[in-house]
């Protein structure tokens, strides 16, 4: 019997992803096409490999046994493909997602420098919510997702999750009213000042409040806004002290328009993570890009 390796490789990824839509996106075909391929393999072998239900699919005992048999050979073929693709001029596109400020201030400058070294790699950038980005990541619509918290805790078997760098939010004020505040402020006195902070959906706020609670302080901000751009706008209008990552307003600080007010106590750091699929076609390029992000930002930590 002639062996159709394409059918076996598709079934290998069905077992890896446990989701037909993800497999279809991986091979750039429709989900019905994947279902047809699996059915063809079942007919060829005379066994049932998967079962469909309301929650998706499950692998049968016969399917699990077949997966263990073909896994070594499929991984060898994947390694060969990876080496071949990495050594050719085949165009690759990496789709990156993250929050607006992370993409604009951190990731985009790195993409520009990275493409100088790897012009064959194309990037497409999206700014989506955390929930939408996770959904697109798992479906294969995006390749790499940067986020400022560690809430991806379920169904992580097919994901690589890495801490890329840490940021430290600062208290920032307009230079025009800097002389109205002391040289340093204590977080014990934080409520004495007109604090501008992201609303309670923000990870940075949650971490700050947890730190304050350890010291018996309950945060009572004057302004609660939905975006970091809104915080910056209120700072520039001399409305109070904003709490945000100074890296996002680096140009304004260097120009002297905005000023960081140091704190007596150390402020908590926030970890920035990235996630990508273990079996992504562009895995080697993604790993290299992530390493560049980690190296650059760990050197420039405020």
**Each residue of 164-182: pLDDT tens digit?**
888 888 999 999 999 999 9
Closest alpha carbon to 273 in 86, 101, 144: 144
Domain spans of the chain?
5-86, 92-165+271-299, 167-270
CATH 1.10.10.10 fits 5-86, yes or no: yes
Pairing of strands 92-97, 144-147: parallel
Residue 287 host element (H or E): helix 283-299
Rounded to two decimals, the pTM is 0.60
- Determine the Cα angle at 21 with ends 17 and 27, to 5°: 80
Q: At what angle do helices 108-117 and 283-299 cross, to 10 degrees?
A: 120
> How far is residue 204's CA from residue 224's CA, in Å, rounded to a whole number?
13
* Length of the chain measured in residues: 302
Q: For residue 56, what is the DSSP state?
A: E
Tell me whether residue 41 is exposed, middle or buried, using C-beta atoms within 10 angstroms of its C-beta: 0 to 12, 13 to 18, 19 or more. Answer: buried
> How far is residue 101's CA from residue 127's CA, in Å, rounded to a whole number?
9
Q: What is the CATH number of domain 167-270?
A: 3.40.190.10
pLDDT in tens, the chain (302 residues): 444 677 888 898 899 888 888 787 776 667 888 888 899 889 888 899 999 877 788 999 999 999 998 888 777 766 655 554 444 444 578 889 988 778 887 888 888 888 888 888 888 888 877 888 888 888 888 899 998 866 676 666 778 888 888 888 899 999 999 999 999 999 999 999 999 998 876 678 888 898 899 999 999 999 999 888 889 999 999 999 999 887 778 888 999 999 999 999 988 888 889 999 887 777 888 888 998 888 866 554 33
pLDDT tens column, 21-68: 878 777 666 788 888 889 988 988 889 999 987 778 899 999 999 999
Q: Give the residues across from 165 on adjacent strands.
A: 272
Q: Answer whether 92-165+271-299 and 167-270 agree in fold.
A: yes
Q: What is the CATH number of domain 92-165+271-299?
A: 3.40.190.10
């Amino acid at each position: 019997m002639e062996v159709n390796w394409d059918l076996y490789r598709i079934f290998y990824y069905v077992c890896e992803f446990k989701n037909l839509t993800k497999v279809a996106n991986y091979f750039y075909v429709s989900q019905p096409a994947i279902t047809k391929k699996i059915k063809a393999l079942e007919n060829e072998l005379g066994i049932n490999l998967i079962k469909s239900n309301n929650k998706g699919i499950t692998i049968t005992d016969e399917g699990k046994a077949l997966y263990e048999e073909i896994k070594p050979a499929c991984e060898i073929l994947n390694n060969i493909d990876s080496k071949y693709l990495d050594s050719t001029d085949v165009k690759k596109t990496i789709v990156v997602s993250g929050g607006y400020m992370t993409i604009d201030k951190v990731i985009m400058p790195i993409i520009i420098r990275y493409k100088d070294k790897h012009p064959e790699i194309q990037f497409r950038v999206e700014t989506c919510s955390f929930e939408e980005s996770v959904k697109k990541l798992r479906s294969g619509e995006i390749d790499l997702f940067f986020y400022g918290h560690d809430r991806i805790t379920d169904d992580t078997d097919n994901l690589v999750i890495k801490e890329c760098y840490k940021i430290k939010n600062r208290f920032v004020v307009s230079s025009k009213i800097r002389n109205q505040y002391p040289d340093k402020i204590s977080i014990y006195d934080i409520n004495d000042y007109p604090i501008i902070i992201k609303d309670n959906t923000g990870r940075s706020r949650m971490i700050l409040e947890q730190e304050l609670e350890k010291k018996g302080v309950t945060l009572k901000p004057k302004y609660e806004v939905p975006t970091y751009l809104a915080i910056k706008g209120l700072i520039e209008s001399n409305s109070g002290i904003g709490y945000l990552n100074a890296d996002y307003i680096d140009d304004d600080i260097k120009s002297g328009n905005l000023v960081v007010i140091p704190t007596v106590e150390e402020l908590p750091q926030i970890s920035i993570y990235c996630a990508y699929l273990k079996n992504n076609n562009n895995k080697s390029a993604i790993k290299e890009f992530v390493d560049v992000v980690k190296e650059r930002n760990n050197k420039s930590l405020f």
